[in-house]
Amino acid sequence: MENEWTHDESEACDAMILAPPPVRRSNGRTINGHSEILWTFKVLMNDYMASSEKLAIVGSCESLGNWQLSGSVLMSKDEDSDIWIVEVPIPRDRTVAFRYFVCAVDPCTEKNLVRRWETSMALRQITPADQEPSAECHDVFGVVNGVEKVDRGWLSSETIVQLKFFNAPFSWKQRMKKRLMYIKVTPMNLRIPVYGTDSNNLLAGSIAPLEDSLSNDTHDTRENGGDCGLAFSFSEVVTLTPDDSLIQPQPQFGTKCGAEDLVIFHLTIGDFENTAYLIDLYTYSSKAGDDEPPHHVGYHYVLPNLFKMSEGRLEVPITCASKHRPMGMMQFGYLLVKPTPSLGLDMSVSYTRYWNKKWTGLDVGHRGSGTSFKTNDISIRENTITSLKNAAEHGADMVEFDVQLSKDLVPVVYHDFMIYVSLKSKSNLEENDFLALPMRELTLQQLKNLKVYHTAEGKSRSSRSFQNDDMLEHQPFPQLADVLDAIDPHVGFNIEVKWSQRLHDGTMEEEFEHVIDRNLYVDCILDVVFRKAGKRRIIFSCFDPDICTMLRFKQNRYPVMFLTIGDSVKYQKFMDPRGNRIETAVLHSLAMELLGIVAHTEDLLRDPSQVNLAKERGLIVFCWGDDNNSKTTIKLLKDLGLHAIIYDKMDVLTSKEVKQSVFLLQAKESQNELLKLQALEMGKVWHHTSPASSSSSSNNSSTSSKA
């Protein structure tokens, strides 16, 4: 599959000039007089589809759902081929755009779930002039204008459960310690029918949960719901290795989980509350032949009530498969990703892996105009509306800033997890003594009203003053909603979602454990962005790989990038290994279909070849770090082919002659192209009407002369 950002199509789309669609023809039958026509859609599916997956279509007219998933139309497979067909009435007085997608129908809710979908910026189109094709004519799923672009779907009503087995997390008795284990995870139905008295309706009574009566016999419950279909699910897995970094269906006897392996089970669950997870462990005998099955070592049922939060770690016993007695322990992390109900997503466009090839070496203002507490030569407070505006005025293509939640769940722009508040002088306390607090412990109103100090001020017991500190747009803690309103819409946003992680030594970045659930945290931020963003270019980023995963699968519009520490002497490594090396970050980004990585420049300067490590896999690469605050380094990074460099002091370090964002310049180019097209059309109109006009003018002139 080709990479989205490498095609000329991106230029055409930004200029609002799409390549002409393939010619389509109707079957000639009309309904409702001449206002609609019954159109036959045919598409060839060359890829593997699960038994419960179907092809569907969605588009820009009412009969195709007006881009809403709920209004999409299921297709039927031809018995003798891999072609899917459906007839749908469409308008004949306008162009109809549409996409194909692979869906599954949840048997409990009867809702469509998007498994994967066409995400080409060039839409399939049917124009009023299109006529009947030959019987052999059909589309090919995922391929538009000769380019294949298909992405995984997003959450609408289902839940994603990820189980993370990193570095063979097993504790065994001595005889098992050297065995290589293979793990398989199967979602299991926890509901059984309670039969009523109606002999004609075996389910007349009810459907009851049965968490406490699971048998150790692993064959008595079937995947995908048994008789009632309530454990509707898709069981997939990815191992983060250079040779295997895509989410795929599980092998029959599990996935290898060795001492160096990072294995993530990706489970799509229809009925989360009533689904358990059977973890089976297999191992192969050293004397076994290639065609011999493995030995079933043990198993464990994980019930849904063990998932207390959206993220956590579990340690569970391993039950012997033959003797049904405990024989060891295993540890694994879990992540629950749930849909964000307030977003109102449609299928008209997706930028999740879109990048115009003209966008290279972009200038991104770090916290707006720069970090204001590391040096004394920045006169504007960081992460304020004024700081962001100042960077934009000096030509920033994008501005990067940090977002986290106040105690009352309002997204605000601020970098540090901790703040300091001033204490009133009592007894022997110094007048300017400070109290350290997590920022999340204060409401928005408290953050606005209290005299709050930055961490650097609190630790040094001295405050900094900045230019026009009393003016509203110079104040810290601006709301994300206000920032989206205040900054020129042609300036892109790199929104870093702050989330405190556990460090390699076991401590937390923030000192305190999280009290807010991850899903709620991310939902609050997404809700504001989707209400306020308009047509602005937005990229999300985060150092936490699971937050990146949530941002990716909760929405289908904006791209997500994985921030990495890399090989660094300046910062501690995280306990989660995925962001501690650029190579591992690349693999995680590929697995979760992120746009790319934001690498630490310290690591890139140590080994510049890592830039191509990401780019050759089709990923976009930004970079961050104090090393970027040098014109020489910025030029070097641009010469290496980085797509964007995040740095301080845009007014001093930028080399731009025209102080405008690339998105504004492209918008102007697009406008010029449209004006040229309009001028050409006007020229055609003038050409066709000029003889009559000349004749009329001549007649008028003659009449005037006679008068």
Are both 136 and 265 inside the same structural domain? no
Can you say whether the dihedral through the CA atoms of 245, 248, 251, 254 is positive or negative? positive
Asked, for residue 205, whether it belongs to a domain, the answer is no
Beta bridge partners of 624: 600
Q: Are 302 and 276 in contact (CB under 8 A)?
A: yes
Q: Which two tokens stand for residue 595?
A: 């746009």
DSSP assignment, residue 241? B
| Per-residue pLDDT reduced to its tens digit, 568-580 | 999 999 999 999 9
Q: Which two tokens stand for residue 270?
A: 């229809």
Q: What's the pTM value of the predicted model, to 2 decimals?
A: 0.88
Q: Report the CATH number that the domain containing residue 174 is assigned in CATH.
A: 2.60.40
Task: Give dist(CA 513, CA 501) in Å, integer.
Answer: 9
Q: Are 56 and 75 in contact (CB under 8 A)?
A: yes
Are both 603 and 490 inside the same structural domain? yes
Asked, for residue 243, whether it belongs to a domain, the answer is yes
Asked, for residue 621, whether it belongs to a domain, the answer is yes
Residue-level pLDDT at 22: 46
The DSSP element (H or E) to which 83 belongs, if any, is strand 83-91
Q: Report the CATH number that the domain containing residue 144 is assigned in CATH.
A: 2.60.40.10
Are both 311 and 168 inside the same structural domain? yes
Q: What are phi and psi of 304, to 5 degrees?
A: -65, -25
Are both 277 and 324 inside the same structural domain? yes
How many domains does the chain fold into? 3
Residue 235: other Cβ atoms inside 10 A? 20
Are both 186 and 115 inside the same structural domain? no
Asked, for residue 215, whether it belongs to a domain, the answer is no
Are both 268 and 385 inside the same structural domain? no
Alpha helices in 489-536 (DSSP H): 518-532
Helix, coil or strand: residue 468: coil
Distance of CA 647 to the CA centre of its chain: 24
Are both 393 and 481 inside the same structural domain? yes
Shortest CA distance to 608 belongs to which of 632, 636, 571? 636
Q: What share of the chain is helix, strand, coil (3-state, %, to 5)?
A: 25, 30, 45
Can you say whether the dihedral through the CA atoms of 102, 107, 112, 113 is positive or negative? negative
Shortest CA distance to 529 belongs to which of 505, 504, 496, 503? 496
* Bridge-based pairing state of the strands 644-647 and 620-624: parallel
Distance of CA 522 to the CA centre of its chain: 12
Are both 646 and 553 inside the same structural domain? yes
Task: Give dist(CA 313, CA 330) in Å, integer.
Answer: 11
Are both 557 and 628 inside the same structural domain? yes
Residue 312: other Cβ atoms inside 10 A? 13
pLDDT means per 10 residues in the chain (707 residues)?
47 43 48 76 95 96 97 95 95 95 90 96 93 78 96 96 95 83 94 54 41 38 40 92 93 94 97 95 84 92 96 96 93 97 94 96 97 85 96 97 98 95 59 81 93 83 77 94 98 97 90 88 98 97 98 98 94 95 98 98 96 96 97 97 97 93 91 79 57 46 40
Residue-level pLDDT at 207: 43
Are both 179 and 129 inside the same structural domain? no
Beta bridge partners of 646: 364
Q: Are 401 and 388 in contact (CB under 8 A)?
A: yes
DSSP E strands, 246-310: 248-249, 255-257, 262-269, 275-283, 295-302
Asked, for residue 578, whether it belongs to a domain, the answer is yes
Q: Which amino acid type is present at position 687?
A: H
Taking CA 696 as the corner, what is the angle to CA 690 and CA 702, rounded to the nearest 5 degrees?
135
| Per-residue pLDDT reduced to its tens digit, 516-554 | 999 999 999 999 999 999 999 999 999 999 999 999 999
Asked, for residue 271, whether it belongs to a domain, the answer is yes
Helix, coil or strand: residue 214: coil
Residue-level pLDDT at 469: 78
Beta bridge partners of 189: 275
Distance of CA 346 to the CA centre of its chain: 15
Residue-level pLDDT at 354: 97
Are both 322 and 402 inside the same structural domain? no
Residue 209: other Cβ atoms inside 10 A? 14
Q: What is the 3-state secondary structure (H, E, C) of 678-698?
A: HHHHHHHHHHHHHHHHHHHHH
Q: Domain end: 125, 152, 179, which one?
A: 152
Q: Which amino acid type is present at position 205?
A: G
Q: Tokens 């579990």 sit at which residue? A: 314
Q: Report the CATH number that the domain containing residue 550 is assigned in CATH.
A: 3.20.20.190
Q: Domain end: 152, 175, 205, which one?
A: 152
Asked, for residue 448, whether it belongs to a domain, the answer is no
**Domain range enclosing 503:** 362-415+473-664
Q: Which amino acid type is present at position 536?
A: R
Q: Are 162 and 549 in contact (CB under 8 A)?
A: yes
Q: Which two tokens stand for residue 588?
A: 């995680």
Burial pattern 22-43, b for ≥16 Cβ within 10 A else e, equals eebebeeeeeeeeebbbbbbbb
Q: Which two tokens stand for residue 110?
A: 């009867």
Q: Are 369 and 651 in contact (CB under 8 A)?
A: yes
DSSP assignment, residue 465? -
Q: Domain end: 289, 322, 337, which one?
A: 337
Q: Which two tokens stand for residue 581?
A: 């090396």
Are both 485 and 584 inside the same structural domain? yes
Residue-level pLDDT at 131: 73
Asked, for residue 572, whether it belongs to a domain, the answer is yes
